[in-house]
Chain A
Amino acid sequence: MDLSVNFTNIKFKNPIVTASGTFGFGREYAEYYDISKLGGICVKGLTAAPRLGNKPPRVAETPMGMLNSVGLQNPGVDAFIRDELPYLRKYDTVLIANISGNTIEEYAEMTQKLSDAGIDIIEVNVSCPNVKAGGMAFGTSPDSVAAVTGAVKQVAAVPIMIKLSPNVTDIAQIAKAAENAGADAISLINTLLGMKIDITTRKPVLNNNVGGLSGPAIFPVAVRMVWQAAAAVKIPVLAMGGVTTGNDAAEMMLAGADLIGVGTACFDDPYAPVKIIEQLAQYMRQNKIERACDITGKVEIN
């Protein structure tokens, strides 16, 4: 049985990757298990300059999910390259940097720096719902997705993956725009824009009023969008959105995923990603699947 996946000509030992923003820079969970067991690690979203993020409260629990409005708090791309990347490099796993820009120029500048620093893949976040400039503003029209993709591809020395927003009418059209502009892969879904109101105080629970919904609540939406996007493009797909078990991972792969991102599940159980790897292997054994990649896109549509 072979769990490994070839994704943009990079070998992942298994299809499980931690989702950006849920795994810090790896240090926290490395205290619980060997993070080399992971197929890949996608680090906390980076910006050109350090950011303190939004005011608290930044989290609200919802039925089988949660809203967050962190707003890309991070030390900036330079501090990441200096202070975090050497630490992460000690682990035998694929490293993905997630970047968000206020402008197209910032996306290109960060891509250049991270390419030079030797990151394996760059995930271009055009889908953060929690920032005013950039973020989701770039990800909701095919033209601006193409513009960002084209600009980063010009300077990139490593594969470029565009992280798509689910807050769009036609995900297939956006996925195609990224592919046509030269993207090497796409990832989806980022969080769904949501809101929770305290009926006693009549105030939104999040200081930012709205935030990104994640967790099992969004899983069926993610499966549908992965299926639609994967069917529209030839480039590989990293799928995330509420994956909590190995069966969820298998379902995502059937929908068209090459790799699976695990995020919010870590908050409930720090061991979630490694458990999901084991459960996926068990599913493969039980169903006599030789290679993990054999089930990608193999949903039998009615």
Chain B
Amino acid sequence: MANVYKCEITENTQLTGEVYSLVFSCEEIAASSYAGQFVHIKCGKERLLRRPISICSVFADCVRVVYEVKGEGTKWLSEQAAGQKLDILGPLGNGFSLPEGKIIIVGGGIGTPPMLYAAKTAHGSVTAILGFRDKSKIILQEEFEKTCDEVIITTDDGSAGIHGFVTQPLEDLLSKGGDNAVLSCGPQIMQDGIIKLCKKYNVPVQVSLEERMACGVGACLVCACEAFDMKRVCVDGPVFEVEMKLP
């Protein structure tokens, strides 16, 4: 169950410019988490609030998160070395429910890491569409290629993969039919586009949201989100299912 654990870092390495991959050992979190959940990491004694970071994958007794350095807390985190201990609360949140059959997984930028966990634990065939700003920002491509039946890369500037946004290949796939669900995580504008397409083709969609948090357990209500009736991103989300009309 979710609890506070003191976890030893086994690896904390830079993937691209501001993006780091952190692995820590924690039997309990590794055993009880599932795709779409997050861990709430204390980033130094001098910072009051923990930082919520999605789980990217679990293996053996270890948990991997991939995070972007955005402020002082994540900068502190990027400076911690293997062997040091972190104070981690987790696993937290309502993650993805993975349906049977064919699914499409969409990740945008730093929203990509939790989708690897979803791809690894999916029951049927998975097509992943991963969008990045440019070639230098691409992360986790090899891991997705090992896990998924098909991986489509898009970049905003065309420096790798399809030139454009994830919504273009997504519409191509959805228009062919046969997909049971779309699961996504990424910038809000991307997810708005995905929801619109899924409504058009009447395919159930689950989106993982990001919001500033404090408690992480549903008590303080600071992370309420407007898109889903001011529900709490930390416990009602971060994954929300968008209601579809019945066929």
Residues of A within 8 A of B (CB): 21-24, 27-29, 31-32, 44, 52-53, 55-61, 63-66, 68, 70, 73, 215-216, 264, 266-271
Contacts and interface: CB of A to CB of B under 8 A. Distances in A.
B230 A53 contact: yes
Given A28-B215, A28-B217, 19 more contacts: A23-B219, A28-B235, A29-B217, A29-B219, A31-B1, A31-B217, A32-B217, A52-B230, A56-B212, A58-B212, A58-B221, A58-B224, A61-B47, A61-B49, A63-B46, A66-B48, A70-B221, A215-B48, A267-B49
A73 B49 contact: no
B116 interface: no
Interface string B87-106: 00100000000000000000
A248 to B, nearest CB: 14
B50 interface: yes
Contacts of B64: none
A269 B88 CA distance: 10
A21 to B, nearest CB: 7
Given A270-B89, A270-B217, A59 B3 contact: no
Contacts of A268: 42, 48-50
Contacts of B47: 61
Contacts of A63: 46
5 contacts: A23-B219, A31-B1, A56-B211, A264-B214, A267-B49
A44 B48 contact: no
A52 B226 CA distance: 9
A130 to B, nearest CB: 11
A57 B223 CA distance: 7
Nearest to A74: B221
Interface in B190-226: 211-226
A267 B215 contact: yes
Interface in B116-158: none
Tell me the dominant secondary structure on chain A's binding face: loop
Given A28-B215, A28-B219, A29-B217, A264 B48 contact: yes
Contacts of B220: 21-22, 24, 59, 68, 70, 267
A197 to B, nearest CB: 15
B230 A73 contact: yes
A269 B216 CA distance: 11
A302 B238 CA distance: 53
Interface in B155-195: none
A131 to B, nearest CB: 14
Interface residues of B, number: 31
B81 interface: no
B41 to A, nearest CB: 12
B2 A31 contact: yes
A56 B211 CA distance: 8
A59 B50 contact: no
A59 B48 contact: no
A216 B48 contact: yes
A116 B215 CA distance: 32
A295 B4 CA distance: 33
A68 B42 CA distance: 19
Contacts of A24: 218-221
A51 B222 CA distance: 14
Nearest to B42: A268
Nearest to A269: B4
A48 B67 CA distance: 42
Contacts of B223: 56, 58-59
A73 B42 contact: no
Nearest to A63: B46
Nearest to B215: A267
Contacts of B73: 61
Given A28-B235, A215-B48, A268-B49, A68 B214 contact: yes
Nearest to A23: B219
A260 B2 CA distance: 27
A52 B4 CA distance: 30
A31 B92 CA distance: 12
Interface string B38-69: 00001000111110000000000000000000
A22 B42 contact: no
B213 A59 contact: yes
A38 to B, nearest CB: 14
Sorted from nearest, which 8 A-B pairs have the closest CB atoms? Answer: A59-B222, A24-B219, A267-B214, A28-B219, A267-B215, A58-B222, A52-B230, A28-B218
